[in-house]
Amino acid sequence: MNTENCITLKDLAIGYSGNTILSDINFSLKKGEFAVLFGPNGCGKTTLFKTILRIIPPIHGTIVYGGDYTPRFGYVPQRQYLDEIYPFTAEEVVLMGTFGQRKPFYPTSRTDRLLVDQCLKDVGMLELKKEFFSELSGGQKQRILIARALATRPNVLLLDEPITGLDVLAQKKIIELISELHKKRQLTIMMVTHEVHHIPSWVKKIIHIHHYKVVLGSLEEIISLSRIDEIPT
């Protein structure tokens, strides 16, 4: 694995409208690393995630992106927040990933179409590309959103609760897909989850939000911390 830091958070404080949710956040992600951001519902995982993605400005501190390059993010949002009123086909959702690199008034290029097909193929959804996105199952939608993130040609993939609300089989398949992408494409990956059993056992780096503090540890350490919390006082 590369030792160069891809994202470094220094003395970061995050929140909305000046109200701090989490402070003293210090950690870094190395190139090609797989990290899981774990914590209970409402602890500030998504806020931290969105701050890293530059969607929300930090209240205090800095985020340094890469050494000699700015990472390109592939973002996979929580699918339930996407409105189903839009009559998109699966292919059109993936095509959105290319919009950041295209100028206005230019039609969609053949290169983009090929890229979209390749991303759909990589997530095993090529044959369903003409289907309505809103009519796909939860697992299939998740695959399409991962394909959309891949279409941005990312070097960092950030997934917000990618397996929440899926059945066990679909969860397993999505985790397999993410780990395959991590290995094949050497992507730096950060995944958010609030369920400890959603964390793949081979993940070495877990960023745990515990009692409003950000703690780094291995899966075993996180499980012990969670168990301590479960002990009645």
Partner 1 sequence: MEHLLEIINPHFLLRNAFYAGLIVGFVCPQVGIFFVLRRMVLLGIALPQVSNAGIAFAFLLHTIGWHFFPHMESEKTMALTGSIIFALIAIFILAILERKRKGFTENRIGFTYVLAGAVSILFVSWNPYGQTEVLSMIRGEIVSVPDFYLWSMLAIYGTIFICLIGFHRSFVVVSYDADMATTIGKKVILWDILLYLIIGIVISFGVMTVGPLVIFGFLLIPPVAARMVTRGIPLFCIVSSIIGVVASFAGFYISYRFDLPTGPTDVALLCVILVLLYFGKMLFRFKR
Please tell me whether residue 57 binds partner 1 under the rule CB under 8 A: no
Interacting residue with partner 1 among 130, 169, 232, 233 (CB under 8 A): 130
Which amino acid is it at 100? Answer: G
Please tell me whether residue 232 binds partner 1 under the rule CB under 8 A: no
Please choose, out of 79-87, 162-170, 173-181, 183-191, the segment that lies near partner 1 by the rule CB under 8 A: 79-87
Interacting residue with partner 1 among 3, 57, 83, 168 (CB under 8 A): 83
Q: What phi, psi does 153 have (nearest 5°)?
A: 50, 60
Please tell me whether residue 110 binds partner 1 under the rule CB under 8 A: no
CA separation for the pair 184, 160 (Å, rounded) = 21
Judged by CB under 8 A, the number of residues near partner 1 is 27
What is the token pair recorded at 199?
């964390």
Q: What phi, psi does 41 have (nearest 5°)?
A: -60, 140
Please tell me whether residue 113 binds partner 1 under the rule CB under 8 A: no
Please tell me whether residue 132 binds partner 1 under the rule CB under 8 A: yes
State the DSSP code for 110: H
Structure-token match 């290029």, residue found: 109
CA separation for the pair 76, 53 (Å, rounded) = 11
Please choose, out of 7-15, 29-37, 88-96, 196-204, the segment that lies near partner 1 by the rule CB under 8 A: 88-96
Q: Is 2 helix (H, G, I), strand (E, B) or coil?
A: coil
Please choose, out of 2-10, 75-83, 192-200, 214-222, the segment that lies near partner 1 by the rule CB under 8 A: 75-83
Torsion sign, CA atoms 142, 148, 153, 159:
negative
Contacts with partner 1 by CB under 8 A lie at 50, 53-55, 73, 75, 77, 82-83, 85-89, 92, 96-97, 99-102, 104-105, 130, 132, 148, 152
